Structure 1
Amino acid sequence: MSLFYLMLQRPGKESQDDQEEYWMKSAANKNKFNIFDDDVTVETAEELAKSKKLLTQCDDVDLVNWDDTPVSSAISDDIHQGVSARVSFTPSRESSVPSIQYSKSQERLHTITQTTRDLRLEDAISGYKPAASGARNQEEEIQYLRRALKKAKELNFSPDDTIRRMMLGEPYSLEVFHSKEEKLQLLDKAIQVHDGNAITAVILFLRQTVKPSLFNLELQRRPVAVSHYVSYLRAHYDFKELGNVLGMLNRTEEAAILKYRQAISAPDVRGKMSALRGCLKAHFLPEPDLTHEANLVEQHASLLERQWPIEDADSKSEAQGNLVFKQYPRKVSILNMPLITTLYYNCFYHGRDAENLLTSPLAIKTQHQLSDKQYIWTALSARSRLKQWNGIEELLTAKGWFGNTKNVSVIGFDKVCEILHRTSAPDEILSKYLRLIDGSERRLNLAKKYKCHDVVVETLVHLRDRAELQVYASKLSPGSRGLKTAQDALRSSTIKWKT
């Protein structure tokens, strides 16, 4: 029997004696305090309610109802706050037992929640405004609850209306859809209206409420839903689930690339090497269509396995005071550097190492299948910076027939001169390779650009262009070697100039 029902009953005279005996027995329990006791007068009760003395007793004092049960926590809290509960004692003509009237807000919310079930609370109680003063009578409360219940029953929970609410930003609930058919209709409707947010929300609802096997099966039948789900997983960095979905959809290339990205994101170099080897074995090698990609992953792992011992050895050598590292200090670690950068590093610090060593530039060229142009350009840049002009001669010299040697350059001697000029090579070294450039016009333009006057004069003499030589000589500094060479050529009687 509820407390509200008991409060509406007025005890008769025939039950007063029994009640007095009951309360006398209950009074023996010192751990309980009855606010309905006859000894509590109206003034005393009001004073206790105002001063909150009922709640300031020690922890072992309990409040009890008519049937000796504890007062509900909601009423106790209302008495403590002095807001929700309004206690008024009115003397009865038949009994001196007081009556109590309190707010029904807690019961109203509970009733609405039970009657509307999955309906959102905002929909059920929208428009309700509690009275500023006084209390609603029982009839008003009942009428309000009836209207709220009727409104809840009239709401449309069809897939079309739910998707419309989602698109318009109105309150909605997906929990009202219990059967598989209703949930799939909801997903199909979201796909039909092309609303990405609605599609994603319904997919996540399906994932939580159906079996994984059924979810995967229905998802595969809807490519649009798959695209949105994959985008959602990628945006939220749920790589484990994303890998499972891609594997389920037989999108092996995407799954392999995903695992590769996860492997290279490892902060530790040793962990990265291990992850790359595992990724290569599990996702790239078994797929015939990923042979080229598997070769690239293999090279990446091999490069890290080469960089690790080189970095370890060079760090120790630098700490011990190696002269090369003192003259040319290392700016950054070689770990995780690109292949060409690693080649340049080894050409710079280990250019003379034998090919059977990890630090050998030729070993790097061979293992990683670098072209001759890549190797020559990188090695030439390193040796030119080190001012190793003899080393440059070695790179650009090849053996011909009958043991003869000749200067060759797979990158072109114009590129060689560009590298030499950038590293401030001496004029005699730069002029030597300028003379090897095929094409008089190209050689003349570069010689002028790099201010190699001897080569300019030689080229103009070769072109028999006396007028151009005179113009060029007029721009040279008096007493310079270039001016003397130009004047000697202009005074020569053996040169046949163009008319």
Structure 2
Amino acid sequence: MDINQDPESYWNRSASKAFSFDDDDEDVEEDNASLHSSRTEHIFTDDNISEASFDNTANILNLTIRSVLCEADLELILNEQSLDSDIIPKGIAPDEELKLLRRKLQNMVHVPSLKVTATKLLHGKLCPLEVYKSLNDKEELLDEVLRNGDGNAVVGVILFLQRTLNKKQFYRILRNRPKASDHYINYLIQTKNKEAIEILTMLGRHQESAIVQFKAAINGHSDILIKEQKLKQFIVAYSSDPGIIPVFHQIFTNSLNLIQFIDKTKTSFDDEINVDSSVLEVLYSCSSRHKWKDLDTTSPLSPFKIAADYQISPAQFEWTALNERAKSQSYLDLGGIFEKSSWNLITKQKQFHISFSLETAIQRLADLNAPLPVLYFFLSKLSNPNQKLVLSKKVKCTKGIIDALVALKDVQVLENFKETLINGSEERFYCEQALTNVNKKWSTEGLKIIR
């Protein structure tokens, strides 16, 4: 095209008729099948290249929509355009409102593609699900949404099925689709506990139903007497269940006992403990009040008795006690938690025992700003010198680093490390003594070998 030519002349001589978005509304009233046929056959059959090329290369390339999109994708695009949101905005012009109402009527008369509807739902758009009348279409719609795995879309379709199907059909669909059941049950647990229990029972998931009933009994009641009464009723009902699980029954019973314990001793906790407190929260509060040098473990508020009465694991007990004592800066009591008297009554030695990772304990104490002697005490219990060296550097414990280097027999590194320490400091003296002891020990060992 000549750049000096009048721009309008191109459109006047163009063989392509421009597409207009202001077509007469009467086209909407045509039969859906003929409408779809005309859109796919007439509009795109002779589609030429856009005005981006002014040298009429379209005739040479013969580029059409079908050369770019396959039939399936073209069908999807056309169907998607017919599923725009049918919400009528305020202040819309009457002719535009008429268009929207006609489109809504068209969607109700002609069932759209399941794939298109599922895509719309997955993108959070509104779709008229009522157009799917048959049971088969409803099941296929649910399966299509399930394949994409979006929980909100799945729940939306399930709620539509629940409204439009009888219970027998609805339950059968849930039984055959465990993934759909899980989404629906999670939704009900947050909104309608009774229906969640009913669905779980129907599906034969009795233990999950029991857990939901248990949570319903202990939650939502601020009055301790009401909570205790509800929990008693639930435990009595669960005890008569033929599928009772002893571990679950023990947990439910312990929860009732804990509520009764809190009710009796609530004046001893200065409002730190209430009816909704967990057993570990009770243990933490009891740990703060316990005299750890006292060997009496029969007191109702003794953390040892709480742990025994409510089957608290040794790891949970020790972790809770370590955190409470460290936060209270009562580090001397840690020995009473982790050191136990041995059977050797003559030497009266104590054995160190910890039920969780020693590395985790050291890191936690460092996070709580425990003093170096406390960190060194726990570092000294590590048997792996490499691990001890790494942790000692991490928590900046000089004595731990020296002990690890001695165990690794790395004299040169130990000599270099000594030079980094301040002259006359305790750490420097400790390092010098360690080097002296190492040299003496190795000399003695060398003489033994020569002999």
Change (3 A) 1:381 1:248: closer
* AA at the equivalent of 2:325: R
How many Å apart are 1:191 and its aligned residue? 4.1
Amino acid corresponding to residue 435 of structure 1 in structure 2: S
Q: CA deviation at 1:201?
A: 5.5
C-alpha distance after superposition, 1:144-167 (max 9, x if no partner): xxxxxxxxxxxxxxxxx98959x9
Contact 1:199 1:225 in 2 (8 A): no
Q: Which residue of 402, 419, 440 maps to 1:494? A: 440
8 Å contact 2:393–2:401 — kept in the other structure?
A: yes
Partner of 2:268: 313
Partner of residue 234 from structure 1, selected from 188, 192, 204 = 188
Q: Is the 8 A contact 1:397 1:408 kept in 2?
A: yes
Instruction: Kindly report which structure 2 residues correspond to 1:241-320, keeping only aligned pairs within 5 A, or say none.
Output: 241=195, 243-244=197-198, 247=201, 251-270=205-224, 271-283=226-238, 286-315=241-270
Residue of structure 2 equivalent to 1:410:
354
For residues 131 and 407 of structure 2, the distance between their equivalents in structure 1, rounded to whole angstroms, comes to 90
Distance 1:220 1:333, change over 3 A: closer
Runs of 4+ that moved beyond 6 A: 167-174, 195-199, 224-228
- The answer to whether the 8 A contact 1:284-1:293 is kept is no
Residue 407 of structure 1 aligns to a residue in which SS? strand
Correspondence 1:144-183 to 2 at 5 A? 164=111
Question: In the alignment, is residue 379 of structure 1 matched against residue 321 of structure 2?
Answer: yes
What amino acid does structure 2 have at the position aligned with 1:368? Y
**1:281-320 residue CA offsets vs partner (Å, 9 max, x unmatched):** 224651425443333333333333333434333227xxxx
Deviations 1:128-153 (Å, cap 9, x if unpaired)?
xxxxxxxxxxxxxxxxxxxxxxxxxx
Instruction: After TM superposition, give the deviation of residue 415 of structure 1 in Å.
Output: 4.8
How far apart in 1 are the matches of 2:320 and 2:430?
36
CA–CA separation in structure 2 for the residues paired with 1:415 and 1:238: 41
Matches of 1:220 and 1:490, distance apart in 2: 77
Pairing 1:360–2:305 present: no
| 1:485 aligned partner, one-letter code | Y
Structure 1 residues 88-146: Cα deviation after superposition (integer angstroms, max 9, x where no partner): xxxxxxxxxxxxxxxxxxxxxxxxxxxxxxxxxxxxxxxxxxxxxxxxxxxxxxxxxxx
The answer to whether the 8 A contact 2:325-2:331 is kept is yes
Match of 2:393 in 1: 448
CA distance in 2, matches of 1:454, 1:187: 78
Distance 1:391 1:239, change over 3 A: closer
Q: 1:243 to 1:448 in 2, by over 3 A?
A: closer
- The answer to whether the aligner puts 1:465 opposite 2:410 as a matched pair is yes
Distance 1:463 1:242, change over 3 A: closer
SS at match of 1:355: coil
Q: TM-score, normalised by structure 2?
A: 0.53
CA deviation map 1:51-92 (0-9, x unaligned) = xxxxxxxxxxxxxxxxxxxxxxxxxxxxxxxxxxxxxxxxxx
Q: Report the AA paired with residue 434 of structure 1.
A: L
1:396 equivalent to 2:338? Answer yes
Amino acid paired to 2:255: H
Q: Whole-Å Cα distance in 2 between the matches of residues 244 and 237 of structure 1?
A: 14
Instruction: Give the match's secondary structure for 1:288.
Output: coil
Q: 1:273 to 1:467 in 2, by over 3 A?
A: same
Q: Partner of 2:402: helix, strand, or coil?
A: helix
Q: Offset at 1:467?
A: 0.7
For the residue of structure 1 that corresponds to 2:420, the secondary structure is coil
**Larger helix proportion of the pair:** 2
> Do the aligned partners of residues 467 and 240 (structure 1) sit closer, same or farther apart at CA in structure 2, a change above 3 Å counting?
closer
Larger radius of gyration: 1
Q: 1:162 to 1:280 in 2, by over 3 A?
A: farther
Distance 1:187 1:300, change over 3 A: farther
Alignment of 1:106-121 (within 5 A): none
Specify whether residues 434 and 365 from structure 1 end up closer, same or farther in structure 2 by C-alpha distance, changes over 3 A only: same
The Cα of 1:347 is off from its aligned counterpart by: 0.9
Structure-1 separation of matches of 2:407 and 2:190: 70
- After superposition, the Cα gap between the structure-2 partners of 1:333 and 1:190, relative to the gap in structure 1 and judged at 3 Å, is same
Query: Which residue of 1 is the match for residue 424 of structure 2?
Result: 479
SS at match of 1:494: helix
Contact residue 461 and residue 489 of structure 1 kept, 8 A: yes
Distance 2:158 2:429 in 1: 84
Match 2:284 to one of 329, 332, 344? 344
Query: How large is the RMSD of aligned CA atoms in angstroms?
Result: 4.4
Q: Whole-Å Cα distance in 1 between the matches of residues 319 and 129 of structure 2?
A: 66
Residues 311 and 335 of structure 1 are in contact (CA less than 8 Å); yes or no, is this contact kept in structure 2?
A: no
- Are the counterparts in 2 of residues 350 and 360 from structure 1 also a CA contact under 8 Å? yes
Q: Distance in 2 between matches of 1:462 and 1:371?
A: 34
For 2:228 and 2:208, how far apart are their aligned partners in 1? 21
Are the counterparts in 1 of residues 266 and 273 from structure 2 also a CA contact under 8 Å?
yes
Measured in 1, the distance between the counterparts of 2:358 and 2:131 equals 75
Structure 1 residues 378-417: Cα deviation after superposition (integer angstroms, max 9, x where no partner): 2233223333344222223323233132231224655554
Aligned length: 305
Structure 2: give runs of 5+ residues left out of the alignment: 1-107, 118-126, 143-153, 447-451
* C-alpha separation in 2, matches of 1:387 and 1:446: 22
Give the superposition deviation at 1:431.
Answer: 3.0
SS class of match (1:401): coil
Q: CA deviation at 1:454?
A: 3.5
SS of 1:315's equivalent in the other structure is coil
Identity across the alignment (%): 18
